[in-house]
């Protein structure tokens, strides 16, 4: 009995395949997409905000209080308002950012500032994070 069912199944499979003409290379076929189905080209990239500049909230709430304590005694307002502090950094380039290079005492364009933060300190990383587009997430 088992044998009969198996051979019947095999026969049916052959019959089902044989009923269609095989596809030829380059042959045009049309495919009906199920309702609501989106082709990949129809989907939009996820609405991830593109970070293109340093973040003001991060500066105001995380970095500025730090600079207020460590820099304003000598620099007055230079590292106070966001727009002023921003002039001392190059987005995503800590090594080209005057703020990071001076604060960590690294030489920059022939200028060597006293070291306020060690390069691997949490404070220096706070500056690097900001330069690299760090954001405050609630």
Q: Which residues bind ligand HEC (CB under 6 A)?
A: 67, 70-71, 73-75, 79, 88, 98-99, 102-103, 113, 116
CB of 42 to ligand HEC, least distance (A): 49
Q: Which residue has the tokens 């009906």?
A: 32
Measured from the CB atom, the residue of 9 and 74 that comes closer to ligand HEC is: 74
Q: Is 102 exposed, middle or buried (0-12, 13-18, 19+ CB in 10 A)?
A: buried
Using the minimum distance from each CB to ligand HEC, give the nearer residue, 28 or 120. Answer: 120
Q: Is 123 helix (H, G, I), strand (E, B) or coil?
A: helix
Backbone CA torsion sign across 86, 92, 98, 99: positive
135 in Cβ contact with 51 (< 8 Å) = yes
Looking at beta carbons only, is 55 or 99 nearer to ligand HEC?
99
C-alpha 59/C-alpha 53 separation (Å) is: 12
Q: What minimum distance in Å lies between the beta carbon of 41 and ligand HEC?
A: 48
**Nearest distance, CB of residue 51 and ligand HEC, angstroms:** 22
Question: Nearest approach, Cβ of 132 to ligand HEC (angstroms)?
Answer: 17
């Amino acid at each position: 009995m088992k044998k009969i069912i198996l051979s019947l199944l095999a026969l049916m499979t052959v019959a089902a395949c044989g009923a269609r003409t095989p596809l030829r290379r380059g042959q045009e076929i049309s495919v009906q997409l199920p309702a609501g189905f989106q082709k990949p080209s129809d989907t939009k990239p996820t609405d991830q905000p593109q970070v293109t500049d340093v973040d003001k909230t991060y500066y105001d709430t995380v970095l500025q209080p730090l600079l207020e304590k460590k820099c304003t005694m000598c620099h007055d307002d230079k590292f106070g308002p966001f727009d002023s502090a921003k002039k001392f950094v190059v987005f995503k380039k800590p090594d080209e950012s005057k703020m990071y290079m001076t604060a960590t005492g690294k030489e920059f364009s022939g200028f060597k500032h006293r070291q306020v933060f060690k390069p691997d300190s949490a404070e220096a990383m706070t500056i690097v994070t900001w330069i690299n587009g760090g954001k405050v997430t609630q």
